[in-house]
Amino acid sequence: METADIFQSLILKLHPLERAVLPQLIAHDELSKIAKAAKLDETETMRALQWLENKGALHLQKQKKQLIFLGKNGTIYKKSGMPEKLFLGALSDEFKGVNVIIKKSKLSREEATAALGILRKKNALDLKKEQELLVKITLVGKTMLSEQFPEEKFLQQNFPVELEKIENKILLDLLLKRKELLKVEEKTETHVALTDLGRQLAEVDLGAEVTNRLTPKMLKEGSWKKQQFRAYDVEVNVPAIYGGRKHIEQQAIEYIKRIWLDLGFKEMTGNYVQSAFWDLDALFVPQDHPAREMQDTFYLNKKAQLPEMWKTIKKVHETGEETESKGWGGEFKKEETEQVLLRTHTTVLSARTLANLKKEDLPAKFFAVGKVFRNEALDWKHLFEFYQIEGIVVDPQANLQNLKGYLTQFYKKMGYSKVRMRPAHFPYTEPSLEVDVFHPGKQQWIELGGAGIFRPEVVIPLLGFDCPVLAWGQGLARIIGEYWNMQDIRDLYKNDVKQLREWKVFLR
């Protein structure tokens, strides 16, 4: 396409607001002046200028200025005179009481008091104390009365005035301290710098107005055939639109649930409030374990009703009953296991699920993504409530190789292709493993969770027979925090709308 044709095509794309603004850009370069000349409001003018900038016709330059405006009292004093001048005018060679002067000067008591203080500093009056304060004008005051005060001269300017252009900054500071005399506001001015293309468009005859919209009436009458329609500019930048979307944490939860469902797992659910029996004792956590203390667990002032199997669990803890274990020894206290708490992990759901399974239900696979509670001090990597990802596989043929397979598949779908496991210790699994993944961005291994095979002390009392149970648990925030490169885990729950809009959608 030739240059002339391209130019003509551009003219056809011009919006009526752009057509109204363009001719004014030769004589004016400031937003408010352009708007006035084009007979548009500033919002419409700004919109037109932005469209023209997108077309390469101009550059917008914004400049911040501090402007001084007259306040309420400043407007009054500019017209009727400064209070100190009016106060002086009400004085004479005789001593007069302040009340008399206030009445004569028509000042309020507050204004008169302020004027009196200012004039005393200028030595414009004498004071005499008897039953009431008496005031008399001095020679200095008489001279001042016939001259224009610097304050009066300052107020005679055409406001608003740019702060940078004020020479007497000391006087300005004094006036700004006075009540509602002056006020300083910051204003952003928008200026236009035309490009060569913009200059051509501003100087050329744009021709007749184009039609913007095809109406039913035009179609009915056939008048559309005679209309010159404005061409659509499909390349123009449009403002970003932020539709409704789920919170990033909810996106991640739904995505993770879908992974396990696709792998044939069933979801486990349960209450936040549990007994110490299900949350700790059924999982063979010793009753003197540090995690059971008040500083690690949120306890409620309630007592739980225990299932019959609590006596079996008691024996396992004390002697290792029927598990080829010696247990933890010591006394298993009923009052300890009856305590009610906010669940400290989703593994409590695994314990309850095992207690409801029968031999004919096997093999079986379950998962949970649920909130848990720990009495932690809040900081950049710890929360007192957070989501945990839990999973168990109950299968007589299951082994560690299967466990690694499930977790490798899960983390692969979460964006981590390399997974490794290290020996570890947890009260209810043996062997126990720490799960690491290789972070492709950081080029290093990072720990993301724990896993293992449930001990017979957990499985036999709950399931009724020994069977391999693969188990794992990971903190959701740590996994998804890497996805969004989150340095502080608390950012996940900030009410920052801008951040939520800008964070990418959780989609691996």
- State yes or no: pLDDT of 209 exceeds 60: yes
The answer to whether residues 74 and 198 belong to one domain is no
The answer to whether residues 312 and 361 belong to one domain is yes
The answer to whether residues 296 and 412 belong to one domain is yes
Confidence (pTM): 0.58
Residue 241 lies in a domain: no
The answer to whether residues 324 and 466 belong to one domain is yes
Q: Mean pLDDT of all residues in the chain?
A: 88
The answer to whether residues 117 and 137 belong to one domain is yes
| Residue 499, amino acid | Q
Q: Which domain holds residue 353?
A: 250-502
d(CA 117, CA 110): 11
Residue 136 lies in a domain: yes
Q: Are 187 and 93 in contact (CB under 8 A)?
A: no
The answer to whether residues 203 and 96 belong to one domain is no
Residue 327 — left, alpha, or beta (φ > 0 → left; ψ -120 to 50 → alpha)?
Answer: left
Q: What is the DSSP letter of 68?
A: E
The answer to whether residues 37 and 82 belong to one domain is no
The answer to whether residues 163 and 191 belong to one domain is no
Looking up residue 96, the CATH number of its domain turns out to be 1.10.10.10
User: What is the predicted pLDDT for the residue at 2?
Assistant: 54
How many structural domains is the chain composed of?
Answer: 3
Residue 222 — left, alpha, or beta (φ > 0 → left; ψ -120 to 50 → alpha)?
Answer: left
User: What is the predicted pLDDT for the residue at 5?
Assistant: 66
Q: What share of the chain is helix, strand, coil (3-state, %, to 5)?
A: 40, 25, 35
Region 327-348: mean pLDDT is 92
> For the segment 469-498, what is each residue's pLDDT rounded down to a tens digit?
999 998 888 787 777 777 777 878 887 788
C-alpha distances (whole Å) from 345 to each of 12, 83, 473, 474, 478 are: 66, 74, 8, 10, 15
Residue 80 lies in a domain: yes
The answer to whether residues 367 and 497 belong to one domain is yes
Residue 162 lies in a domain: yes
The answer to whether residues 44 and 168 belong to one domain is no
C-alpha distances (whole Å) from 157 to each of 69, 165, 171, 172 are: 10, 12, 14, 13
Residue 105 lies in a domain: yes
The answer to whether residues 15 and 121 belong to one domain is no
Max avg pLDDT among 123-132, 221-230, 417-426: 417-426
Residue 234 lies in a domain: no
- 102 pLDDT tier (thresholds 50, 70, 90): confident
